[in-house]
Amino acid sequence: MSHDSVRPSEETGLHRHPVVGRPGKVVAVHLNYPSRIAQRGRTPAKPSYFLKPVTSLAAAGQAVERPAGAELLAFEGEIALVIGRSARRIAPADGWSHVAAVTAANDLGVYDLRSADKGSNLRSKGGDGYTPLGPATLPAAEIDPAALRVRTWVNGELVQEDSAGTLVFPFGELIADLSQLITLEPGDVVLTGTPAGSSVVVPGDVVEVEVDVPGTEHRTGRLRTEVTEGSEVLPEFSAQPAVDDHQRAEAWGSREAAGLESPFELTEDLVAKLRKVSVATLSAQLRKHGYNQLSIDGVRSDKPGSKIIGRARTLRFVPAREDLFRSHGGGYNAQKRTFDSLSPGDVLVVEARGERGSGTVGDILALRAQVLGAAGIVTDGGVRDHSAVKDLDIPTFSSGPHPAVLGRKHVPWDADLTVACGGATVQPGDVIVGDDDGVLVIPPALLGDVLDAAVAQEAEEAWIAARVAEGTPVQGLYPLTGEWRRRYDAEREARISQEGPK
């Protein structure tokens, strides 16, 4: 498939040629559109790729088969680039000049088979017919690449629309980046990412993708693909389809779209209530509910009087080992990636095994967390640049200062998984509350009952404190019993009757 094979048809703006032939390779980008990145919740610093077999290519109008026993076949409308001349170690400014043509693509994938190849996408995205292209190409030399638009319809309803002008990694940069280690040859195809709106389709659905330059005659026409049901069951010696709610949410685009229960939300009302109650009171209520292992021990705030309230994000360090630090400690490692992915309201909880002999966060990363709106940082390890971190607005709870960098005691390993911090098990999404008394982990399912009881307890204790200040002995007053209990309850009922419930 060379540039010379691209010839105009009778329809202005459309170039008919055998898009589906035998290119040497098909390269696909993982994440590129900001709308899709926001859905996925992770921001790539550099582009990353996977290969699709050339046997996955299909022409417009061909059907695609959802494997028997599979549930989650998802479409991804994309802009595909067809290489026109060889590219090897070129600069980003020269990348577009190596593109001969542009066409529409559908980067289909079966989420049920994602686990089979641990990230390579070979079977999940490499099946026969999983890369339809066409029906026509647009000449790259006549197009402003940033003006290209991709749209996708499912059963006639528009579900995706975005502009190449929003891309995190422009086309020229992708071509240049790939060419540093891989020679791109005429006919090679590069899929450039999909915007938000990708979702699941079922047998009988029709997916159409079109690439155009709005306001011009440059358009590919609609790439039509009908979904059919496969009849051949995978044999026992092959990896079988397997899904869970995480894969369902990823395939459909959200938990809500997948029909799953909405995740717990830490609302403004809940945060306001949490600000009114102390960690000590919450701890007492958790104990009454049978939970005694939810305090993160050995950590203290760098700013007395500060409080953290938020949802847990997690980061795990493993003990230092020279070879592992060389492979995982440098560059854009798990620590930096996690800090870069924080969102407003997140509390980053770091498992450092209680090791105080090294820093686990410093001023630059703490500042990054603050800029992204994170609510706090909790680590059972040390903090470098302690004075500078303390001067930031974001509260940090740690085991104390230490000047050493990670490599002395730690290797940054992985994130967003269940960790142990200060003797407590913390899962992503747990509610984290900290003040001068310490830090607690509250399972979301418990929060409502525990918080209401804590608010009631603090109101009661404020009333008791007022009586003690008046000179009343604590016998029978703390805790409330007998006549003191009846008196408190009567005053409380009278207040509620007069003011209404708070």
Residues at the annotated binding site for substrate?
362-365, 384
H/E stretch holding 38 reads helix 34-40
d(CA 300, CA 295): 12
Question: Which residues make Cβ contacts (< 8 Å) with residue 230, sequence separation at least 6?
Answer: 65, 66, 67, 68, 70
Question: Which residues make Cβ contacts (< 8 Å) with residue 189, sequence separation at least 6?
Answer: 23, 25, 26, 27, 57, 80, 81, 82, 83, 105, 131, 133
Question: Closest by alpha carbon to 57, among 237, 188, 197?
Answer: 188
Which residues are annotated as part of the binding site for Mg(2+)?
A: 385
DSSP 184: B
d(CA 317, CA 360): 9
CB 370 within 8 A of CB 448: no
d(CA 2, CA 186): 5
Reading the block at residue 307, the tokens are 């409080």
d(CA 163, CA 244): 32
Question: Closest by alpha carbon to 84, among 174, 165, 190, 173?
Answer: 190
Burial 382-418 (b: 16+ CB within 10 A, else e): bbbbbeebbebebbbbbbebbeeebbebbbbbbbbee
Question: Which residues make Cβ contacts (< 8 Å) with residue 498, sequence separation at least 6?
Answer: none
H/E stretch holding 463 reads helix 444-469
d(CA 150, CA 294): 49
Question: Closest by alpha carbon to 220, among 16, 14, 17, 79?
Answer: 14
First to last CA, the chain: 72
For residues 268, 272, 275, 277, the Cα torsion angle rounded to the nearest 10 degrees is -130
Q: Which CA distances in Å does 113 have to 69, 126, 133, 234, 329? A: 11, 10, 23, 11, 31
Which residues are annotated as part of the binding site?
A: 362-365, 384-385
CB 84 within 8 A of CB 101: yes
- Helical pair 268-276 and 444-469, crossing angle rounded to 10 deg: 40
DSSP 116: G
